[in-house]
Structure 1
Amino acid sequence: MKWIEPQKYLNKLKLQEFPQPEIIQLNYPVLLCHGYGSMSMLMKPSPMQDSCMRLRGFGIHAFAPNIVPYATIETRAHQWKDRIEQLQQKYGYTKFNVIAHSMGGLDMRYAIQNDGIADSIASLTTIATPHHGTSLAEIVLTTPELLKEKLNELMNWFGENVFPNEKSNAVAAVEQLTRNYIEETFNPATPNHEKIQYYSISAAVGKGTTHPLNPILRLQNQLIYQKEGINDSFVTAESAIWGEHIGQYSISHLEQIYLQVSKERKPLVDKMWLDTAKNLQKNNL
């Protein structure tokens, strides 16, 4: 019988002096803004719920409210403004560090420029936001008209049932995510505000990389790669860069908000959120 050294296993039981998550002290609370879509709302209270709780684990005051899932940038921006004002009235906050995922980053850029909330924002960090558009939107819009119409009706019906406070418009939102609209209309009209710090995070998996991707997303990942290059299955690494680029991560668009994350890959997502929080701390935000 092989002798098993007990000390080897006892070492694994040694207690750390401080096993809790590191406290990250920020000057301002964090508002998390979700992107396009609502399927994740069937599985959790908010698309950004897990990310929010990750930040709260660091001792950060973080909030992840919901807004209309399928609507134009302008409509969604107005709702983010309302959420900011609600939190200010309830807790007395003056400013927020906004961390926005995907389309949420465009919403907040618009809100800062057009909705009079610049004085309430200390920083905007965007994660995989299509700042230069995404060819995936163009692919969706090439769907045969009848099918596109039916899909629009279905998505609007679903969106208005999970969030009945605002009328949805799924196709209009997709049209605003195309490269042509973002580069020729949105960006020229939506410059950065001089008093706000802008940061961005990009990602790439699948085709053109050595990093794995859920097979369900493989086709769209390859189609985007053919048109634009490496991507996270929704947005290219290049399109996601805006302001000061924090870094590129090997996690998919859905993994970034803790969807379809395996146990083995969860530490990669955890690290992205830790790095995001520490960047705010480093910059005295």
Structure 2
Amino acid sequence: MKTKYPIILVHGIAIKDLFFIKSFGKIDRHLKDEGYKVYKSNIDGFGTIENNAAILKEEILKILEDEKTTKVNIIAHSKGGLDAKYMIEKLGMEDYVQSLTTLCTPHKGSPIASSILKLPKWMLKIIAFWINFWYRIFGDKKPDSLTVCKELALVDDIEKETFKISKRIYCQSYSTKMDKAKDDFIMGIPLVFFHHFSKDTETDGLVGIDSTKFGEYKGCAFEESISHSEIIDFFVTKKKRERIYKFYSSVCADLSKRGF
């Protein structure tokens, strides 16, 4: 194990381990091959922040017991960063987390979520019903897509949303940017909607760069166009995949140098 403490990858909304789909592609396998002790979370794809935080807490306590260690390093993507923050601050886990790295996390919300909530209530209920129905079949314990959408909406009271993470925990954040809709067919449509509903010019397709800033903001992880979903190795070209793997390796190497 190259880092002092094991690493747990926490996925965001919708994309979870399901059949041939993996929440972090082969990133966990790549890091394991490099000698890191890596786990992946199995929180709900459409679980609320509160419920997912409770699941994540149990997962981490199990890791600590199995590894006979005292802390973990969390690398969280998208909403997974919000779940992890809530777990640390609200569920008494500040003594069990050494570092929290968030990737493309909407700490200040997303204009797309805010816009979805403007749809007629009857339409929102129908959409939420079917999302919850299918994700319950896919293994979610308590899917609640409508509440999740509300939790991801733009935040007016930023201090209330970001909480105050213990100073004993090293917090850092990264963003990515998507230049054109054709750069990623998965995020192409959300990118168009984002620019329609938001004045922000830089986004990963779902989250504005300003919203991703938390703790020590390290900037965009890549100079090239990498979307919200590509950073977790979801339908990525071979050329991009190599750079994405290299990024995760550099994050873990930095944690190791810091003694984490």
One fold, TM greater than 0.5? Answer: yes
- Determine what percentage of the aligned residue pairs are the same residue: 26
Q: Is residue 2:231 matched to residue 1:231?
A: no
1:215 is paired with a residue whose SS is coil
Alignment counterpart, residue 108 of structure 1, candidates 84, 93, 104: 84
Answer whether contact 1:126 1:201 (CA < 8 A) is retained: yes
Alignment match, 1:268: 243
For residues 149 and 158 of structure 1, the distance between their equivalents in structure 2, rounded to whole angstroms, comes to 14
Alignment counterpart, residue 218 of structure 2, candidates 246, 254, 262: 246
Q: Which structure exhibits the higher relative contact order, with contacts defined as CA atoms closer than 8 Å and separated by 6 or more residues?
A: 2
1:41 is paired with a residue whose SS is coil
Of 270-279 and 154-163, more deviation after overlay is shown by: 270-279
For residues 191 and 263 of structure 1, the distance between their equivalents in structure 2, rounded to whole angstroms, comes to 39
For 1:208-219, list aligned pairs within 5 A. Answer: 213-219=183-189
Q: Is residue 2:191 matched to residue 1:221?
A: yes
Alignment match, 2:175: 202
Indicate how the Cα distance of structure 1 residues 184 and 224 shifts in structure 2: closer, same or farther if over 3 A, else same: farther
For residues 93 and 51 of structure 2, the distance between their equivalents in structure 1, rounded to whole angstroms, comes to 15
Alignment match, 1:93: 69
2:8 is paired with a residue whose SS is strand
Of 61-70 and 178-187, more deviation after overlay is shown by: 178-187
1:158 is paired with a residue whose SS is helix
2:98 is paired with a residue whose SS is strand
Amino acid at match of 2:55: Q
2:239 is paired with a residue whose SS is coil
For residues 212 and 247 of structure 1, the distance between their equivalents in structure 2, rounded to whole angstroms, comes to 23
Q: Is residue 2:4 matched to residue 1:27?
A: yes
Amino acid at match of 2:67: Y
Alignment match, 1:147: 123
For 1:31-180, list aligned pairs within 5 A. Answer: 31-38=8-15, 41-44=18-21, 46-48=22-24, 50-164=26-140, 166-180=141-155
Q: State the TM-score, normalized to the length of structure 1.
A: 0.83
CA RMSD of aligned residues (A): 2.0
For residues 216 and 248 of structure 2, the distance between their equivalents in structure 1, rounded to whole angstroms, comes to 16
Structure 1 position 229, deviation (Å): 2.3
For residues 279 and 90 of structure 1, the distance between their equivalents in structure 2, rounded to whole angstroms, comes to 25
Alignment match, 1:192: 165
2:174 is paired with a residue whose SS is strand
Indicate how the Cα distance of structure 1 residues 214 and 126 shifts in structure 2: closer, same or farther if over 3 A, else same: same
2:183 is paired with a residue whose SS is coil
Alignment match, 2:259: 284
Q: Which runs of 5+ in 1 are unaligned?
A: 1-23
Q: Cα deviations across residues 230-281 of structure 1 (Å, max 9, x unaligned)?
A: 1111111221111112331231111111101012321221222122112212
2:102 is paired with a residue whose SS is strand
Structure 1 position 219, deviation (Å): 2.9
Pick the structure with greater CA Rg.
1
